């Protein structure tokens, strides 16, 4: 990089409060890729949230959904428990939900860890 050349700006981070806001931006952007991250709480097996990340030109839109009563509060994605009571979200539930809700069967959905 030349001394006079400035590094590119990756854009701003925009936190959205509702699934409907995120959905509208995702559909309007016409992007074919969304990233998600399942975030665990401090206690083992305590699911705290699911984060969706939509990178568009000049911004990254982020939406958080939290667990409530066996499912995620806004999206309704189910939370499962294994035989030891450790709660988890199935990857196929997240991918299926996004492809259906965003009406894009070719949508590439990636875990934050596999990007």
Write out the chain's pLDDT in tens, 115 residues.
444 544 455 579 999 999 999 999 999 998 889 999 988 765 655 556 899 999 888 899 999 999 888 899 999 999 998 898 878 889 999 999 999 999 999 999 999 864 4
Q: Does 21 map to a domain? A: yes
Q: Does 90 map to a domain? A: yes
Q: Does 115 map to a domain? A: no
45's enclosing H/E stretch is: none
Q: Does 67 map to a domain? A: yes
Residue pair 26/19 in contact (Cβ under 8 Å)? The answer is no
Domain that holds residue 51: 12-104
Q: Does 3 map to a domain? A: no
Q: Does 5 map to a domain? A: no
Number of domains in the chain: 1
Dist. CA 4–CA 35, nearest whole Å: 34
pTM over the 0.75 mark: yes
Q: Does 92 map to a domain? A: yes
> For 69, left (φ over 0), alpha (ψ -120 to 50), or beta?
left
Q: Does 85 map to a domain? A: yes
């Amino acid at each position: 990089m030349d001394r006079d050349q400035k590094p590119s700006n990756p854009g701003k981070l925009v936190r959205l409060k509702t699934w409907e806001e995120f959905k509208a931006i995702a559909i309007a952007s016409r992007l074919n890729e969304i990233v998600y991250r399942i975030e665990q709480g401090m206690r083992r097996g305590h699911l705290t949230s699911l984060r969706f990340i939509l990178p568009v030109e000049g911004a990254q839109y982020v939406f958080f959904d939290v667990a409530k009563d066996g499912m995620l509060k806004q999206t309704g994605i189910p939370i499962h428990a294994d035989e030891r009571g450790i709660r988890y979200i199935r990857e196929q539930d997240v991918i299926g939900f996004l492809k259906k809700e965003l009406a894009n069967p070719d949508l590439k959905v990636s875990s934050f860890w596999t990007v």
